[in-house]
Structure 1
Amino acid sequence: MPEVRHIPRAPVRTRTLRVGESIDPHWHDDHHLVYAGAGVVAVTTDAGTWFAPGTRAIWVPAGCVHAHRAHGALELHFVGLPVAEDPLGLAGPTVLSVGPLLRELIIEYVRGAGDERPELDRLRAVLFDQVRVAPRQEVQLPAPHDPRLRAVCDLLRADPADPRSLAALGREVGAAERTLSRLFRRELGMTFPQWRTRLRLYTALQVLADGVPVTAVAHRCGWASTSAFIDVFRRAFGHTPGSHVRRD
């Protein structure tokens, strides 16, 4: 397990990560916003993993231990904010929708970091306003703690296309279906089918970022047909898998 680093100041900068490259667990005294201009970024804490393609950004509050991982070639824009400047007032990470205006504000503000130009102060104020009103997205994949539930989730993480029922998975890990169903609701706040669908969607984001064709992604992630995959993906992210690839 990597050592958790304390990096007091959250940076305001752009950093590129190669496919599969990661940033080890660390925490800041500052809040910060993480935006992937290209690729998909995953931010992981003890509570779970948040995923963000180019239409999303991840807000990480001060003091939160987290790690980053790149899916696809990643261009990360970090916006560090002093703890006293908190436009959201959240205790944990969240994912925000990023429209064209917020995207350009993030990129331009990071590009000008360190300059003393007066217009950067105005840019910062507008950026804060846009962050404050950005719609929040339920795109966390929560992490289980009970060892029986964790064993089931690990089986599905290893093979998201695994079609087995909760009862069948329970027999493999030595837990009753009713017990596991209760644990999914209590620990993860969702049903087993909801968690598995969310896992498959986030796996699809990662695989699409690696350049895998849409049809292959659909089958690798467990959808019976490409059209079913496209429909679920569109409802979750607001655009089709094909247009998602073109955005990146």
Structure 2
Amino acid sequence: MARIHNRDWCLACTSSLKELPRHVYFRAYSLKGGTCVQGHEHVWWQFLFARNGLMQVQAGATTLTLPPDYGVWIPPGCVHTLWIGEEVELESLYIEPTAVAIQDQEPRVVMVDEFVRAFIHHGCTSIPVKYDEDGADGRKVKVLLDSLQSLPDAPFNLPFPTEPRLLEVCLTIQSAPHLAHTLDESAGLARMSSRTFTRHFLRATGLPYHTWRQRMRLLGSLEMLRSDITVTEVALTIGYSTPSAFTHAFKQLFGKSPSRFTRPEPK
């Protein structure tokens, strides 16, 4: 598993819940920045949502960056670790597998709209643990599940290869994103020809090498944008020659400008 940040972490464990009291269990809690929730798995689906704050999720061989207003589906049996870079307010749903009709059993990030965001908060604050599944609360939960399953995917995942030589290349890029990491350089590090490296990398990650490298840089920029670093400094730090080049690439991947991901000023 790839280590997400170079810092000391306060380790925490997940809930000890063994059985869901209803088909959907709402769980809301806060975690301080610098917390790592150690690897664990559930026998149910989890919809993980950070109402405030940014975190990263290592789910299987995939790294997922989760800013505010985005949620992640974590399938049953998927070992996942949470890396909390700043204080977050989590609002999770634990969901019995029979309560949803999801074909793709891979972790995926989705964009949460204002309606669903408010609905999740209502569920976490107002729907009782042992709600009446045949009553008004049960009907609300079914509507929420339908809404969650229709949310559009967002490009915040980054699959890591498991082959040691390819993984070494990816971790090298992660540790120094500002460097060029040309195809020939990375192929040499992996002790492969450029053609062989390109073929193996695509097969291992599902992404062309240059696409993976760019996504790694842009995903890494999200945490920087949440700090006091300017867009210009972020662009230079992750290897872009100008802020405009960074902004263009950012918009192409995320559909929004970098300023949309900066931390709001305290009121």
* TM-score, length-scaled by structure 2: 0.83
Please tell me whether the aligned partners of residues 71 and 210 of structure 1 are also in contact (alpha carbons under 8 angstroms). Answer: no
> Which residue does the alignment assign to 1:79?
93
Q: Name the CA distance, whole Å, in 1 between partners of 2:186 and 2:169.
A: 6
> Which residue does the alignment assign to 2:146?
129
Please tell me whether the aligned partners of residues 46 and 143 of structure 1 are also in contact (alpha carbons under 8 angstroms). Answer: no
Q: Name the CA distance, whole Å, in 2 between partners of 1:173 and 1:29.
A: 37
**Cα 1:76–1:211 shift into 2, 3 Å:** farther
> Which residue does the alignment assign to 1:168?
185
Please tell me whether the aligned partners of residues 15 and 75 of structure 1 are also in contact (alpha carbons under 8 angstroms). Answer: yes
Moved more, 132-141 or 74-83: 132-141
> Which residue does the alignment assign to 1:57?
71
Which of 10, 17, 39 matches 1:25?
39
Local SS of the residue matching 1:135:
coil
Please tell me whether the aligned partners of residues 42 and 52 of structure 1 are also in contact (alpha carbons under 8 angstroms). Answer: yes
Local SS of the residue matching 1:136:
coil
Q: Name the CA distance, whole Å, in 1 between partners of 2:29 and 2:227.
A: 19
Say whether 1:233 aligns with 2:233: no
**Cα 1:211–1:126 shift into 2, 3 Å:** farther
Structure 1 segment 137-148 matched on structure 2, within 5 A? 137-148=154-165
TM-aligned CA deviation for residue 8 of structure 1: 3.1
Q: Name the CA distance, whole Å, in 1 between partners of 2:228 and 2:126.
A: 32
Q: Name the CA distance, whole Å, in 2 between partners of 1:21 and 1:131.
A: 27
Local SS of the residue matching 1:190:
coil
Q: Name the CA distance, whole Å, in 2 between partners of 1:80 and 1:42.
A: 19
* TM-score, length-scaled by structure 1: 0.89
> Which residue does the alignment assign to 1:194?
211
Q: Name the CA distance, whole Å, in 1 between partners of 2:65 and 2:94.
A: 19
Residues matched between the structures, number: 248
**Bigger fraction of residues in helix:** 1
Unmatched 5+ stretches in structure 2: 2-10
Which of 29, 33, 45 matches 1:15?
29
Please tell me whether the aligned partners of residues 97 and 135 of structure 1 are also in contact (alpha carbons under 8 angstroms). Answer: yes
Q: Name the CA distance, whole Å, in 2 between partners of 1:178 and 1:21.
A: 41
TM-aligned CA deviation for residue 85 of structure 1: 0.8
TM-aligned CA deviation for residue 246 of structure 1: 4.8
Say whether 1:104 aligns with 2:114: no
Q: Name the CA distance, whole Å, in 1 between partners of 2:143 and 2:173.
A: 42
TM-aligned CA deviation for residue 141 of structure 1: 0.5
**Cα 1:82–1:247 shift into 2, 3 Å:** farther
Q: Name the CA distance, whole Å, in 1 between partners of 2:255 and 2:219.
A: 14
Please tell me whether the aligned partners of residues 13 and 113 of structure 1 are also in contact (alpha carbons under 8 angstroms). Answer: no
**Cα 1:119–1:210 shift into 2, 3 Å:** farther
Say whether 1:44 aligns with 2:54: no
**Cα 1:77–1:211 shift into 2, 3 Å:** farther
Local SS of the residue matching 1:72:
coil
Please tell me whether the aligned partners of residues 190 and 197 of structure 2 are also in contact (alpha carbons under 8 angstroms). Answer: no
**In the TM superposition, what whole-angstrom CA distance separates every residue of 1:126-167 from its partner, at most 9, and x where no partner exists?**
211211211123432001122221111111010111113121
Aligned partner letter, 2:244 = S
The Cα RMSD (Å) is 2.5
